[in-house]
Structure 1
């Protein structure tokens, strides 16, 4: 049974290339939610580098080759921004990427989308919102993955572990991309190094892994390595 489409509710037609449908009826190799931190610890320059990293990574011809090399040859991507427990936003809705044209169109859609920066950091809120999106996915996917990136620990809403465990129990894999930013954090500081925190409290599910970015400048390289591994479905040993 097909699940209810999110497209009408999220205004997808305004974000996707003209004349191209967001999704088709056939399944995909993986449904991937990119869940991106936009809390106030991330300034405008860092936000620009973060979005640019995702745009460049998804439109890289080498990554498109990886996508086309899958069993089905296409993936579904949704881009979410989150901050405190009361803020999660679907920025670019579910979009099928199976060609260079699709990838370039997705990159431009993200480039056009406005951005907000808000207080606090609710990884749990970001995971719960992404979990709901995957539960309402309008077509089938062989794997379902949430890709959480951010530069701080959960300091708003329920513990990250609770949201992670709910998603994992539903068959979803959560991977992490902690940004090891050297700027001061707001609120409660990390009890352990951020990459360790992501290993212990954020990632989970079959084949879960975390790839730290040394800083925002290194973000794009980390995103590319992470996406190749997620899309190819490489079942490598979990770090940590």
Structure 2
């Protein structure tokens, strides 16, 4: 299958990146059919605000000699992954503001309704391979549902083992009027699914948002954990 060939190509070394980089961080945002226009806007606003949060900015700029690089894309069905922010080197607050502005300015395209987690993992891994020289490469996948199109995420994860890529998840609960107990069960099941089939790496984790209104706070927690853990490990 073609996706297996794509995974095999990730094993080939990529040359040409010489500038020091402590972390390449690619963020994939779910725009499948389960995400309505209001939730899409909350997702973009939440990410932009999280990037501009003082604690996140401080973590991004903690080691100016070895910056972080960011990229952002949206995804849905097996054939739909769209880059909205290409790799950007974060060397100052202005770079953070620029990324946030581009996220906010990303219009919603005509995306298919399916949720292709395996395919977005392949796309994100290929994106990270462009930054093979970074000390750490992390893929963040936000989603509110399980895979229902394209390759199975557990098969893709097996193919990515040994590449050195970390995959973390941010699962988003439904904003429908459900009881607190039902929502907790739903989020717990989805978090377990991401943990079992999507996340990759010894320090990988799943963050949870109760709904899209909670997405910003969850993204702040996730970014701080990812960025601060790397800064601490660099000091040890």
What's the TM-score once normalised by structure 2's chain length? 0.82
Structure 1 unaligned segments of length 5 or more: list them: 6-24, 185-189
- Partner of 1:118: helix, strand, or coil? coil
The aligned residue for residue 128 of structure 1 is 122
1:1-240 counterparts in 2 under 5 A? 3=15, 26-70=19-63, 72-116=65-109, 117-137=111-131, 140-183=133-176, 193-233=189-229
Q: CA RMSD in A?
A: 2.4
- Partner of 2:25: helix, strand, or coil? strand
1:46: Cα distance to partner? 0.3
The aligned residue for residue 10 of structure 1 is none
1:219: Cα distance to partner? 0.5
Asked if 2 retains the 8 angstrom alpha-carbon contact of 1:61 and 1:100, the reply is: no
The aligned residue for residue 10 of structure 2 is none
User: Partners of 2:98 and 2:35 in 1: how far apart?
Assistant: 26
* Matched pairs, number: 210
- Partner of 1:203: helix, strand, or coil? coil
Alpha carbons of structure 1 residues 218 and 38: separation in structure 2 relative to 1, 3 Å: same
Provide, for residues 51-107 of structure 1, a one-character-per-residue CA deviation record: whole Å limited to 9, x for no partner.
111101112222111122247452111101110111111111000112111100111
User: Partners of 1:144 and 1:71 in 2: how far apart?
Assistant: 18
Alpha carbons of structure 1 residues 108 and 71: separation in structure 2 relative to 1, 3 Å: closer
Alpha carbons of structure 1 residues 4 and 26: separation in structure 2 relative to 1, 3 Å: closer
Asked if 1 retains the 8 angstrom alpha-carbon contact of 2:62 and 2:231, the reply is: no
**Which structure features the higher share of helix residues?**
2
- Partner of 1:128: helix, strand, or coil? helix
